[in-house]
């Protein structure tokens, strides 16, 4: 069960990184501030999802 959360987190980070690089290769030009804001939003989303998964893990542990 624990490895599921680790794998899920790693997959999420890979997707975030891939999305960041896809806009660079497509020829889009973003200002540094726009890139920082987009990165911060993605980081917060990932953190919220990770926290939700950890809460779910704790809930499942209690059920055992």
* Cβ(56)–Cβ(8) below 8 Å: no
Mean pLDDT on 41-62: 92
**pLDDT the model gives residue 17:** 80
Q: Which two tokens stand for residue 17?
A: 């990184």
pLDDT digits (tens, 9 = 90+) for 3-51: 777 777 788 878 888 776 665 555 556 688 888 999 999 999 999 999 9
Ranges of each domain in the chain: 2-63
CA atoms within 13 A on the CB side of 62: 6
pTM above 0.75, yes or no: no
Largest CA distance in the chain: 51
């Amino acid at each position: 069960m624990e490895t599921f959360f680790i794998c899920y987190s790693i997959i999420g980070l890979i997707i975030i990184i891939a999305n960041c690089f896809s806009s660079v290769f497509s020829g889009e030009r973003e200002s540094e501030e726009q890139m920082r804001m987009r990165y911060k939003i993605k980081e917060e989303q990932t953190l919220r999802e990770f926290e939700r998964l950890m809460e779910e893990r704790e809930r499942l542990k209690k059920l055992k």
